[in-house]
Amino acid sequence: MTDSAGAKRQARYSNHAIHLMRTAQMSTLKLSQMADQKASILLGATFLVFSLSVSRALTGQMPVSLMILASFSFASSLCAVMAVLPKVGRPDGKIANRNLIFFGHYTWMDEEEWTEELLERLETDRTVFETMAHDMYQNGQVLAGKKYRFLALAYKVFMTGLFVTLAVFAFEMATS
């Protein structure tokens, strides 16, 4: 094999390469779990604020500051839900983007087709590492492009709501 494909198939990797790949995958998984936990914490806080606001509104005693806090809490909770909301549906169909080790992709494949493609990916170290790298890259895209973006927005909306509420509450106290 003198062609470039043959050279790729015979590439040698450090004995520690698999440890690097596994560590990177575990780090990405941990970051995803942390984002989910942070979104869950924020959801709990915003739903508590929103529930208390609704109960106050039912009694007819709803100051403007509490309406503002409830509104920002609701908006923040929507962003937090978007951060953890899974994408469901058929993958885009492009074979190059198909992730053979992500259930959201391979469950749409015929079992024999998936098994055959996966076994082909296991034939060389290079294709194993390519498969792992592809999975890490796609997970990172979801983390950066969705989870962390919506999570940051959720916290910013909530913090903004707290500051606006404080300012309006101070104004209400000063004018009453």
**pLDDT of the chain along its 176 residues, tens only?**
445 555 555 668 888 889 999 999 999 999 999 999 999 999 999 999 989 999 998 998 889 999 999 999 999 999 999 999 988 777 766 666 788 888 888 888 899 999 999 999 999 999 999 999 999 999 999 999 999 999 999 999 999 999 999 999 999 999 98
- Which pLDDT score, from 0 to 100, does residue 93 have? 64
For residue 56, is it within any domain? Answer: yes
For residue 135, is it within any domain? Answer: yes
For residue 51, is it within any domain? Answer: yes
Q: Count structural domains, the chain.
A: 1
Q: What range does the domain containing 121 cover?
A: 16-175
pTM above threshold 0.85: no
For residue 5, is it within any domain? Answer: no
For residue 11, is it within any domain? Answer: no
For residue 75, is it within any domain? Answer: yes
For residue 3, is it within any domain? Answer: no
For residue 116, is it within any domain? Answer: yes
